[in-house]
Amino acid sequence: AQSVTQLGSHVSVSEGALVLLRCNYSSSVPPYLFWYVQYPNQGLQLLLKYTSAATLVKGINGFEAEFKKSETSFHLTKPSAHMSDAAEYFCAVSAAYSGGGADGLTFGKGTHLIIQP
């Protein structure tokens, strides 16, 4: 089975400061990893994905994440926070890569990002 753990249910940063949202994964096979953002009463929007190509992945809205196998981590960062970044962020792992025919995404519990003016 595959799973992801997001450290910190709430993260608060000042506008203009570095954003760091943590995600650690557990997988018996090389995973596909994703970060999604969810605004209130909205669906999920893909920020970026890791699919075993480059370990440093750049996404939309200035976000990026680095896959570190030695640390089983896939932390999300953004150099300078903007007020519009306030949202819920989910790390997810794809079960599809297990080769067992399973499908769908397994999500972490989410991190609520608060931007202080």
Partner 1 sequence: DAMVIQNPRYQVTQFGKPVTLSCSQTLNHNVMYWYQQKSSQAPKLLFHYYDKDFNNEADTPDNFQSRRPNTSFCFLDIRSPGLGDAAMYLCATSRGRGLMNTEAFFGQGTRLTVV
Q: By CB under 8 A, name the binding residues for partner 1.
A: 32, 34, 36, 41-46, 49, 51, 90, 94, 96-97, 99, 101, 103-110
The structure tokens listed for 89 are 């962020």
Strands 10-14 and 111-116: parallel
Q: Measured from the CB of residue 10, what is the shortest distance to partner 1 in angstroms?
A: 11
Q: List beta partners, residue 51.
A: none
Burial label, 108 (beta-carbon count in 10 A; 0-12, 13-18, 19+)? buried
The structure tokens listed for 24 are 């650690």
Decide whether 17 or 96 has the Cβ nearer to partner 1. Answer: 96
Quote the radius of gyration of the chain (alpha carbons, Å).
14
Q: Measured from the CB of residue 80, what is the shortest distance to partner 1 in angstroms?
A: 27
Q: Measured from the CB of residue 100, what is the shortest distance to partner 1 in angstroms?
A: 10
Decide whether 73 or 94 has the Cβ nearer to partner 1. Answer: 94
Decide whether 39 or 71 has the Cβ nearer to partner 1. Answer: 39
